Structure 1
Amino acid sequence: MSHRNARLTVFGRRLLVERVASGRPVAHVAAEMGISRATAHKWVRRWRDDGPAGLHDRSSRPRTTPHRTSAEVEARVCDLRRARKLGPARIGPVLGLPASTVHRILTRHGLNRLSFMDRPTGTLIRRYEREKPGELIHVDVKKLGRIPDGGGHKALGRQAGRATRNGMGFDYVHSAVDDHSRLAYSEIHPDEKVATCAGFLTRAAAFFHHHGITRIERVLTDNAWAYRKGLAWKTVLAHLGASGKLTRAYRPQTNGKVERFNRTLLDEWAYLRPYTSNDERTAALADFLHTYNHHRCHTALGGHPPISRVNNPAGQYT
């Protein structure tokens, strides 16, 4: 995940170092990518020192914050929020703080939404989140149009892309997301038949087991025929010792975590850049999944990547 003002994404930085590594002058590559030579040298240097990991942003958080609100004042803000359910505009005058400061404090402690709290006791809770990894896995399929060789409408323009798209068919991206940790696994298949769904679940379970989620208790899906009636799907569930659970009809919110992951999948992989072939887009999926699980900041986890919650399942990131 790049800084919001960065001229280059991680993909752009990788492209930069590949062009420099091919023997081209840094100044020429920097000019064509619209960045300064100093910036180009910085990313090349980090890549040489740390490899691919060096192309990701480093934390800009200062070592010390001398003007940060004291812990005592933050505790008083949280106490008022829990005890009286007051908002920033009312807590601010009581403590002599700007409402914006109060809001940041509440956000830092996970109290910015009253829906996160138990109203009678003021105890912080999270809705729709299981207590441990593997307790519930969300599964869904996203349908994507295949990309013709040479590129589709994003690479060639809408008119030219429409002419090349006819008869290309679709890819079906099968995804599984752990409810507690948000650890995700995806595969691309040509269909969503029962055998395909069952095989995907088997490999997804192996992926979660490899990353520390050794027991899957329940699997939540929509009401597609493969999940409701498929014998191969039920056989895999029985082999895993898991029970199947279906969402309410016409209520995709019930499977919201994987639905939200699908949106991230589109924004940060499928539509990230104009791919020139379907194979190129397919090959980029593995890098996206690794970044998502191990490096990408997740807002629901307090800025931590999903793998951190698998390694520390008792940790509560807010």
Structure 2
Amino acid sequence: MGRATTTGSLDFPRFRTAVSESFVPLRVTTGRPDPFGGGIRHVAAGEVHCSIVSADEHLVERTPRLIADSPRRCYKVGLQLEGTGLLVQHGRQTVLRPGSLVIYDTDHPYSLAFEERSSTFVLMFPAHALDLPHDAVGQLTATSLGDAGGLGDVVVPHLANLAGNLGLVAGPGGDRLARTSVDLVAAMLSNELAVARVSTSPRARLFGEVTRYIDDHLRSAVLDPGSLAAAHFISPRHLHALFHEHGATVSGWVRRRRLEECRRRLADPLFDERSISSIASEWGFADAAHFSRVFRAEFDRSPSAVRAER
């Protein structure tokens, strides 16, 4: 079950604080601080955050200094509900109008400018939730999404309905609903990349193939660097270098994906009859004490706490 917070009408200082608390640290400014009205409705379902930000004229910036001080690689998908704005990232800019859909990366500087009263739905999730190479997704930031191949006709109404029923994300099926939303976005991005024929490096394509293979074989008892390298006809050294380029290790990536699957089931009422130890064992954690330690280290709360939060 998700965790919901709603702010009322906020003056500018409180709105500025609420924005950074709801997302990642951001610099928020306005040319009209008084009077100013803003508010945020925010629901977190696991690692997926759904928010509606409504406010008067303001500018939001993710600066290089803030990125260095608080690195956190997430993608934010924005659906403009009311008003207009301008998103700038990676030297590109796109105008936001009602119905506009965009994606941006918190690991790189960006700015969002709104010169009038506006309302935006934001879906934020960790970058690893997308089974796509970062450099490929980076070529789609600050561009108009949903136009290629017609998948926008599916994703935009879904996100708009989600924005209109945000309380559902805080309900019993919230975690699954949030994850489905991310999967729909991933399908749309994959389609955008295919239609636009975005070129990715051979190493980026290989990394995508390896991570997809990991997801397809997460329950396998044999999912180590040697078997992964052999399955892709490369050396273990090449495999380790590939993951190092993405700031990860092979074993760390596999462990995190298995922990994510455990967390999803602990947060899902459909698995209430399953014990924590049986869920852990299904995903390769035979030692209950070890599982509890690595789970808490990854998510900053115990498996039982995740189950109790629903």
TM range (shorter): under 0.3
Question: 1 or 2, which has the higher strand percentage?
Answer: 2
Q: TM-score, normalised by structure 2?
A: 0.24
Q: Rg bigger for which structure?
A: 1
* Structure having the larger proportion of residues in helix: 1
- The TM-score with structure 1 as length reference comes to 0.24
